Amino acid sequence: MDKPLRILVVDDSALMRRLLRELLESDPELRIVGEAADGREALAQVVELRPDLVILDVRMPVMDGLETTRQIMAYTPTPILVVTASLSSYEVDITFQMLGAGALDVMEKPRLGDAAAVEAARRSLLRKVRLLARVKVVTHLRGRRQAPAPRAPGGTYRAGLLYGGGAAPVPHRPPRAVAPPPATIRDVLAPFPAVVIGASTGGPRAVRQVLAGLPRDFAAAILVVQHIAQGFSQGMAEWLAESVSLPVSLAYEGVPLSPGHVLLAPDCFDLLVRPDGAVHLSSLPLLLQRPAIDIAMQSVAEVFGAATVGVLLTGMGRDGAVGMQAIRRAGGLTIAQEEASCTIFGMPRAAIELGAAELVLPPARIAEMLRERMGVRA
C-alpha cells in the first residue's frame, strides 16, 4: 500500500482550516502534516515538511497567495491547489495569476451551512488532491526575480500555409449589431481558418503560452475549451485578455467567429459552431464533461473542414482525442502538447495513441507552428 499523501493546508481562517482538515481526513490515503495562517508561515512549513501538496488560500495577511505561490515554485517546487472564497473579479484575477505562477488548479471553498454543497465540495476536493499531489512540478525561476530567456524543448513540425485573412478582429465587447453572414460557410471555401484549443489540468498557463505567441492580426478564429471549476471561465477570459495581444471574450449564443478573436467556452455549456459560422451553446447532457473538447472539435471540423486546426494541451483523461481524429479526417492539422511540458499528459497521450495527432510540440513551438500555418512571419 502506498504511503498517505502529505498535505499542507494554508488559510487565514481557523474555521476554514478545520473544515478542510475534516474533509481531507475522510480519505485514509491523505494525511494533514501541517497548517499555516499566512504565506510566510507556509513557506517555512513547505521547507520543513516537504508536503506532497499545498492547499493555498488567495487572500491572507503578511503574504498573499500569489507571492506565496511564486516563492514556493521558485525555491521548493510543490503542487499547489488554490482555494478561493469569492468569485469577485479581483479575487479571480489573483487566482489566475497564481495559476500562471505555477499553481495547478483552483476550486471554490466549501460553503458552510449547506450539507449538500459541503459534500459536493468534499468529493471534488478529494479528487483534485489525489490527482495533483502526484504531479511532478518544475522550478519557476521568475519567482526569484529573474526572467531568463525561455528555452523551448526541441520538436519537429511541418511547414505549410492554410488560408490568408485580413478581417479586423471582433471588439472585446459583444457588438450591438452583427452583419448577416453568408448563407452557410460551406457555400464558400472557409473564408478564414478556425483553431480549436482544448485543455484541462495545467491548461490556463499552457493556453496563455500558446496565445501569447500569436500576433493581434492572426488570421484565424480561435476557440478555447478549458476544463475548469464552475464559476471561473469568465475570470479566465478576462485574465487571458490582459495577458495576450489578441482580444479574448467569453462565447455567447450567436456570436460570429472572426479572425484574430479568441472565444472561450463558458461554464456548463458545450461550444458548437453553426453552419453560418456563429456559436451555438448547448446544455444537452451528451458527455460527462461539459464543456467537452470532443464536441467543440467535431463541430468545427464539420463546418470548417480542412481549414480547421486542433490543438490538445495538458490534461487528464481522453477528452479531445476523438475530436482531434475528426479534424484530421477532415483534412485539418492536429497538434498535441509534448509530454515534457505537460502538467498531466493524459489527453495528449490519448490523441497520440489514437493516431489523431499529426504533430507533437511544446507550447512555444505550437504558437510558432500556428504562425507559420497562417503565413505570419516572426
pLDDT digits (tens, 9 = 90+) for 270-287: 999 999 999 999 987 665
pLDDT of residue 178: 36
The predicted pLDDT at position 91 comes to 82
Q: Which of 11-20, 180-189, 257-266, 334-343 has the lowest mean pLDDT?
A: 180-189
- Reply yes or no on whether the pLDDT at 92 is more than 90: no
117 band by pLDDT with thresholds 50, 70 and 90: confident
- Rounded to the nearest angstrom, the gap between the alpha carbon of residue 281 and the centroid of all alpha carbons in its chain is 19
Q: Which residue has the cell 498557463?
A: 205
> Among all residues, which ones are annotated catalytic?
200, 227, 319
- If you write DSSP's letter for every residue of 107-153 in order, what string do you get? EEPPPTT-HHHHHHHHHHHHHHHHHHTT------GGGGT--PPP-PP
Cis? peptide before 291, omega within 30° of 0: yes
Which tops the pLDDT comparison, 377 or 233?
A: 233
Which residues 6+ apart lie within 8 Å of 45 measured at CB? Answer: 8, 34, 36, 51
* pLDDT of 88 strictly over 90: no
Strand order in the sheet with 221-226: 248-250, 262-264, 221-226, 194-199, 308-312, 333-337, 359-361
Question: Distance between CA 314 and CA 205 in Å, rounded?
Answer: 10
The label of the residue with cell 456563429 reads 278
The grid cell for 136 is: 511532478
* pLDDT at residue 353 greater than cutoff 70: yes
Q: Where are the alpha helices (DSSP H) in the chain?
A: 14-24, 39-49, 65-75, 89-100, 115-132, 203-212, 233-243, 293-304, 321-329, 346-353, 363-373
pLDDT tens digits, one per residue of 25-67: 999 999 999 999 999 999 999 999 999 999 999 999 999 999 9
What is the chain's percent helix, strand, coil content, to nearest 5? Answer: 35, 20, 45
Cell numbers given for 354:
489514437
Q: What is the pLDDT of residues 142-186, one digit of tens each?
A: 655 543 333 333 333 222 223 233 333 333 334 333 344 444 454
Please tell me the least confidently modeled range out of 70-79, 102-111, 327-336. 102-111
Rounded-to-integer distance, Cα 118 and Cα 302, Å: 41
